Chains A and B, each alone.
Chain A
Amino acid sequence: MHLDVRIPLGLLFLILGLILVAYGFTSDPAIYAQHSLGRNVNLFWGSIFAAFGVVVLIISRRGKA
């Protein structure tokens, strides 16, 4: 196969996840009280995005070996 789709898929989610996590740490907590029931949804869901990205990348490496 020419390009394993799991590589761009994993990278995209890893990068987006890291951006969300970084923003979750630096953003004003007031936006979470206003929108997401007080939960820092960027931090939480950003970690899920990043974890998903890592898992996909690991699977793609294994697939090659």
Chain B
Amino acid sequence: MNSLITPALLAASGETVLLRLGGVDYLILAIYFAFVLGIGWVLRKHLKTSADFFESGRSLPAWVCALGFIGANLGAQEVIGMAASGAKYGIATSHFYWIGAIPAMVFVGVFMMPFYYGSRARSVPEYLKLRFDEKTRAFNALSFAVMTVFSSGISMHALALLLNSITGLDYNLCIVVSSLIVLIYIYTGGLTSAIYNEVLQFFLIVLGLLPLVLLGLQDIGGWHGLMAQLQKFSEAQGMPGAWSHSWKYMGSAKANPMGVEWFGLIMGLGFVLSFGYWCTDFLVVQRAMAAKDMGAARRTPLLAAVPKMLFPALVILPGMLAIGLGQRGGGFHVPVGANGAPDYNMVVPAMLAQYFPSGMLGIGLTALMASFMSGMAGNVTAFNTVFTYDLYHSYVKKDSTDAHLVKVGKVTTVVGLILSILCAYTARKFDNIMDMLQLVFGFVNAPLFAIFLLGMFWRRTTGHGAFFGLLLGTVSAMVFHGLTLPIGETNGIKGGWLGGAHWFFTSSMAQNFWMAIFAFVGCFVGTAIISLATAPNKTDDQLRGLVYSLTEKIRDHDTPWYARPAVIGVVVLVAVAILNVIFW
């Protein structure tokens, strides 16, 4: 879900120029940049306290937060990566939305947001401190800070590489320009500026890429034309029908191109990974915590779920269209990489080159830029908040004044971006380091949801239980990875490094899902046992507002029925169930 760009994109070569930009395209790009910077400029006057800078003064309406909530996640891995997966796996890619993101977004809005927003916490690590103890917070804050810097660096690198390879723009120039723009608008306007820009980015990406889908669909002869081509394609791949159904071929890992089966899919992706990301990752949770009141904070992820469930039509469909059009022949070809294999990460740029003339091409490119920059900015704003509140204010200078914290936040923004640039150049030199880091983050993140679930709904969970449970979960993930391997891979970074693999999976995705399940169970059981064996470290009074049974239930009788979180949540779940059935 939060996975970074795949190495194939990183390896894209910069030899041929795919897109020829005209004057009008540069004009469009320039106007967009002017707006992005202008928002920060206008907002700078209103930025006074640290709460303004890091939390938008908790003043934003739900719909703005909701668009920021998906906008921050609508990074490059979504636009480029989901189209790539759409080409590789077909409709089944929608599992990342319909079984992955949506149920988790409903859960965080209905059940978890009352504790995040209602507690005095300003960040997710701070919640962990209030609920558990200092060491659990430090562990989460540190791993999160490192991860955000690397994610932002990778996003920057992928953007520069992509632009360089499709337009011939200089790599260094892309890095400098994109990081300067992000720096300026966060430095001047803080989180509000980042969220406002995410709103712009959201609409640009949606309205900028929609005509691509419409033109592609018209070219292939509508939905039925696409299905007919995909049928032919899937037959040629030896998996008839697998590209046009989401669930039908999930009975066995060998019957679908993802190489996963339904249990690993539902538990690994649907439960552990998705809930872990959407419910605990401060990058997205921060957007909801910026809302103006509890109702707005709870509605943020729920409102975000509505466009999110329709996103497959925008980001997955281009990949499926590319496969269908390539299968039909004549005109469009699926891009091929330097090694002769299909380069699915180039599917969106290739579609842009095919269907967008100058003018719309500028819009399409701006949408791509917007998606990369929102990914960077989301990470940077989460990083500066966690660093300032959870590391600096907690361990370096506890008696900081508010004005001092704003200053630290601004300096951290600069430092965070400089570190991201260093990561981008490291990624350019050593692909393997990035794979390695991604793997380590996977170990740390996979079990995380277990301690939130236990902490929020079981008052007996203790600080020692959470901390050592988390370590146990991380170790479970490592051991699992060290003993398993996807079929056809060699022992090493793909697994099997603990003296050779003992269990094999059809795909690395299946291995990843099962690793998450193991890590979660290890952490859950470990936390529960250690909690029972250790004395509670917080009194009931201290846990009020942090744990379900000790928190007064929110009465939303004053809210009109259609605005109640539970009602919206049920509507969203019913709608997503219907989508699953339609595309079964």
Contacts and interface: CB of A to CB of B under 8 A. Distances in A.
Interface in A31-46: 31-32, 34-37, 39, 41-42, 45-46
B43 interface: yes
B360 A42 contact: yes
Nearest to B292: A1
Contacts of B203: 9, 13, 52
A36 B218 CA distance: 10
Given A3-B39, A15-B31, A16-B31, A37 B200 contact: no
Contacts of B356: 35-36, 41
Instruction: Name B's interface SS.
Output: helix
Interface string A12-41: 110110011001100100011011110101
A2 B39 CA distance: 11
Interface string B353-382: 011111110010000000000000000000
A12 B196 contact: no
Contacts of A16: 28, 31-32, 363
Contact of A19 (B27, B42, B46, B199): B27
B219 interface: yes
A24 to B, nearest CB: 7
B64 interface: yes
B355 A35 contact: yes
B357 A34 contact: yes
B357 A36 contact: yes
B42 A36 contact: no
Counting chain A residues whose Cβ lies within 8 A of the other chain, the interface size class is 20 to 34
A48 interface: yes
Contact of A52 (B39, B192, B207): B207
B215 A41 contact: yes
B211 interface: yes
A10 to B, nearest CB: 10
Most buried by B among A20, A32, A37, A42: A42
A5 B290 CA distance: 15
B536 interface: no
Contacts of A12: 31-32, 35, 200, 204
Contacts of B59: 1
B436 interface: no
B578 interface: no
B24 A19 contact: yes
B35 A31 contact: no
B38 interface: yes
B43 A2 contact: yes
B358 A27 contact: yes
B363 A20 contact: yes
A24 B215 CA distance: 17
B24 A48 contact: no
A23 B24 contact: yes
B357 A5 contact: no
Given A9-B200, A35-B356, A3 B35 contact: no
Contacts of B192: 2
Contacts of B357: 27, 31-32, 34-36, 41-42
Interface in B27-54: 27-28, 31-32, 35, 38-39, 42-43, 45-46
Interface of A: 1-3, 5, 8-9, 11-13, 15-16, 19-20, 23-24, 27, 31-32, 34-37, 39, 41-42, 45-46, 48-49, 52
15 contacts: A1-B59, A1-B60, A8-B39, A9-B200, A24-B359, A35-B357, A39-B215, A41-B211, A41-B357, A41-B360, A42-B360, A45-B363, A46-B359, A49-B207, A52-B203
Given A2-B46, A13-B203, A24-B359, 5 more contacts: A8-B200, A9-B199, A16-B28, A36-B215, A41-B357
Interface of B: 24, 27-28, 31-32, 35, 38-39, 42-43, 45-46, 59-61, 64, 192, 196, 199-200, 203-204, 207, 211, 215, 218-219, 354-360, 363
Nearest first, the 9 A-B pairs at minimum CB distance are A42-B359, A2-B46, A31-B357, A35-B357, A23-B359, A5-B196, A12-B35, A23-B24, A45-B211
